[in-house]
Chains A and B, each alone.
Chain A
Amino acid sequence: MSSWLDYTINGLIVGNVYALVAVGLALIFGVSRLINFAQGSIYLVGAYIGWVAVVQLHTPLPLTIIFVAVVAALVGLIIERFGLRPLQNSVRIAPLLATIGISFVLDQLVMLTFSPNPRALPSQLPDVRFQVGGGTIGPLDLLIAGVGISSAVLLFVFLRYSKLGWAVRAASQDRDAAMQMGVDVNRVNQAVFGIAAALGGVSGLLVGMYYNQIDTAMSLQATLKGVVAEVVGGAGNVPGAVVGSLLLGLVESYGVAVFGTSYRNLFAFLLLVVVLVLRPNGLFASARQAPPEPLTGTFIAPSRPVRIPRWALLVAAAVFAILPLLPVSFYVLQTLINAWLLGMLALSLTLVAGTIGQVSLGHAALLAIGAYTSALLSLTLSVPVGLAIIAGGLMSAALGTILISPSFRLRGHYVSIATLAIGEIVSLVILNWESVTRGPIGISGIPPLSLFGYDLISPTSVYWFSFAVMVVLALLQARLLSSHLGRSFRAIRDDDVAARAYGLSLNRYKSLAFIFGGFAAGVSGGIAAHLYSYINHETFNTQQSILALTVVILGGLGNVVGAIVGAVALVGLPEVFRIAAEYRILIYGIVLLLLVRFRPQGLLGTI
């Protein structure tokens, strides 16, 4: 029994930490209808600022907390002013993508400054435990609870009694009406981002002290947990976010108690998916609401695609096809092989995110499904590699579509959250399902690529193989886009309400898009598995999902040629300029930010 009390206390403490992140997210969502994916990065910044204060400046605890809160708030203000305010009048997807770009940039800056190795963040409190009933509780637990509760009280007082707090509440109820009544929405946004960032930063500090360890992987986890808690409580609902956080803390804590530590996150994401499917407006949402009536095509930037003449495409394809016969180095071929693999993933994502408008943030999961299927089939059942890769594509198409189908009724930013969560679930299942996936050890000794019994080992043959597969997939997709399915997908993207009114079933066509896109991604993953010869649950991670999204936006959403051009550009240019590996992610983040700001339709235009 005593251990259950411990798990409950632990759950509530962790929940309190999540609440600090989730309340910030809820405030921001309330005012700008935006899910701030950079919130976890601010939490990361808070943890490292705290480390600087504690370990290098030796500040006492109260000063540490204030220092972290102030610096984090400044970061929040900078994000609002330079990252988001310029996007106020752009397409709805733009601010979401901008926060993703910002989070990449912040995480990488922290990593480059402090190195990716974990660091100890010593707690500045005495290490004693008090007996409470059957469990124990330490001073840090009490501090976390105290900070959580006092921030909630302060926030309540601010929102309730200060003039700026009124403005925040007015803006979150009806932004346009508030503006007409003279509320300075920019100032409200500043206040909200400042407060949210301060809370997020302090929460990073406290978590760092709680586990006595900080590392750069904390960022994404914090964003995910905060988003889960916020959505469970109802997006934009501040008290709901607190309750959602405590609930999430408890669910995780009990889940860990029953199944073990590696299941912690699985429970968090399953909770999210269940809530999204059953109560997409959160546990505390009021009754069903009137369907919104947006104006036309507000999600995708309207643009005219650049028309590339057929002969130019043929010439380009011919040049790339004969490239291995020319005196080029293996290094160039290797780089282009990577580009072709990324190109296949981008083809898949440009169909799903661009053509039918489901901005997926978990697309790497489709790679993983394809890779594991192909690797396991060829290793354990000795299926020929060529067939195994096709099976990987089919498995990815089928399983990916089934997994994503609960989110088909969601719209806009919720789709992105759901796909992110489903991507994480896939990776966690791979980690935990040891009897099939070999768990954390991964799969090694995957046979090399082969076709009709001939091994493809030389870079030249691998190059031709991957290039040919990508070209075939691209041609198929171009044919799909020119059929009635192409216009049906795009109609659903532009206005799903009008599409339904004309007989287009969203489930049917979203499924078809994911089946087609899942196949391309699965094939890409399958080929990658045989190239790498070793894969584990981290081979295909969220970073790749975001990289693919950057490629797709760079090329132009829905644009087949654009996806390939984008892949070649993002893989090739860092090689051309010999940019060191650790700076590349930073550059991808900056590219994403610049694109969203200055060319949301990408290089070749949205189709």
Chain B
Amino acid sequence: MAEAHAPLLSLRGLTRRFGGLTAVDGIDLDLAKGGLVSIIGPNGAGKTTLFNLVTGLDRPDAGEVRFEGQDITGLSPERLAGRGIARTFQLGRVFGNLSVMDNVLIGAHTRLRAVKPAVPVIGPLLELGLALLRPSSVKAEEERLREEVKAILARFGERLLPRIDQPAYSLSYANRRRVEIARALALKPRLLLLDEPTAGMNPSETAEMQALVAELKAEGLTILLIEHKLEMVMRLSDRVIVMDEGQKIAEGPGEEVRNDPKVIEAYLGHGLSGTAEQESAA
């Protein structure tokens, strides 16, 4: 593989076992800068576990994760966030008691500079001192980030801006998903992992979300997407990876994968419950 075309993210033989169950089994994956790869598969196929391995919330038993050419296997999630990897969560993990503004500001946490001097050992104490004293540089940074957050929220039209000071627990399910994505965007990610961004959304909300993801892709953001709604997957993805029982059973352009007999079997064979739930969610 030529250096110039080195993928932004590449997984080699990534494996994670839980007791007797191999949740992720020797997965290889390459994602080029600016690309969008979707991972589909029945429930329990290991998609979310794969996300956890890439974002550092779980450690692989074997295999390697490389990001921008560097080995990042087993790094802590906070360090990976610092390198520009942002994600959303399948079940929705907004900070319930924080306002929409504060939720999205947490997304920008890794970009704080003025209030978080990169000084070893006493850095945390300086952070405490600066947070209390608030010199003009700190105030200006906070103000700038707040403006940015408003700009990000504006991408969701009138969904979130009028609720900017409301606690996240008071939001509708769909709005919580939007807050999660806004929070991820506030990190200015180099790689964005979206775990079922349209789960629990109705068709018009899904269409809105699809348009947003398309927009992000057009802006050059590199995206790894887990999604059950196949229409969205087919429209957005450069490539689709199908997982079943931890293994990659097919990979390729959407149309090709869709007609792969192994994929049809995975969904219709032992994966019946998965498709049933997918339909009820849709």
Which A residues form the contact surface with B (CB < 8 A)? 286-287, 289-291, 293, 295-297, 300, 302, 304, 476, 479-480, 483-485, 487-488, 490-491, 493-495, 497-505, 508, 511-512, 515-516, 606-607
Q: Assuming A297-B169, A491-B98, is B93 touching A484 (CB within 8 A)?
A: no
What CA separation (Å) do A289 and B16 show in the bound complex? 11
Shortest beta-carbon distance from A225 to chain B in Å: 33
Q: Are A502 and B183 in contact (CB under 8 A)?
A: yes
Q: Are A500 and B169 in contact (CB under 8 A)?
A: no
Q: Are A293 and B91 in contact (CB under 8 A)?
A: yes
Q: Are A503 and B89 in contact (CB under 8 A)?
A: no
Interface size in chain B (residues, C-beta < 8 A): 48
Q: Are B124 and A296 in contact (CB under 8 A)?
A: no
Among A297, A484, A500, the residue within 8 A (CB) of B57 is A500
Q: Are A296 and B128 in contact (CB under 8 A)?
A: no
Shortest beta-carbon distance from A324 to chain B in Å: 30
What CA separation (Å) do A494 and B183 show in the bound complex? 15
Shortest beta-carbon distance from A203 to chain B in Å: 35
Closest to B103 in A: A491
Among B58, B76, B92, B125, the residue within 8 A (CB) of A296 is B92
Shortest beta-carbon distance from A502 to chain B in Å: 5
Q: Are B105 and A290 in contact (CB under 8 A)?
A: no
Q: Assuming A500-B78, A502-B86, A516-B128, is B19 touching A490 (CB within 8 A)?
A: no
Closest to B87 in A: A501
Closest to A498 in B: B93
Closest to B141 in A: A484
What CA separation (Å) do A493 and B49 show in the bound complex? 24
Among A289, A296, A503, the residue within 8 A (CB) of B168 is A296
Q: Assuming A290-B58, A296-B96, A491-B106, is B81 touching A480 (CB within 8 A)?
A: no
Shortest beta-carbon distance from A500 to chain B in Å: 4
Q: Assuming A296-B176, A494-B96, is B81 touching A501 (CB within 8 A)?
A: yes
Q: Considering the complex of A and B, which 7 residue pairs feature the smallest CB-CB distances, nearest first?
A: A297-B96, A503-B81, A483-B131, A503-B110, A498-B93, A296-B96, A494-B95
Q: Are B167 and A491 in contact (CB under 8 A)?
A: no
Q: Are B92 and A295 in contact (CB under 8 A)?
A: yes
Q: Are B97 and A606 in contact (CB under 8 A)?
A: yes
Q: Chain A residues near B109: list those with CB within 8 A.
A: 484, 488, 502-504
Shortest beta-carbon distance from B13 to chain A in Å: 20
Q: Chain A residues near B44: list those with CB within 8 A.
A: none
Question: Contact mask B113-133 → A, CB, 8 Å, 1/0?
Answer: 001000000001101100110
Q: Chain A residues near B134: list those with CB within 8 A.
A: 479, 483
Interface centre among B76, B105, B107, B128 (most CB of A within 10 A): B128
Q: Assuming A500-B57, A501-B55, A502-B81, is B106 touching A487 (CB within 8 A)?
A: yes
Is residue B187 within 8 Å, beta carbon to beta carbon, of the partner chain? yes
Shortest beta-carbon distance from B23 to chain A in Å: 8
Q: Are A483 and B132 in contact (CB under 8 A)?
A: yes
Question: Contact mask B222-246 → A, CB, 8 Å, 1/0?
Answer: 0000000000000000000000000
Interface centre among B97, B110, B134, B142 (most CB of A within 10 A): B97
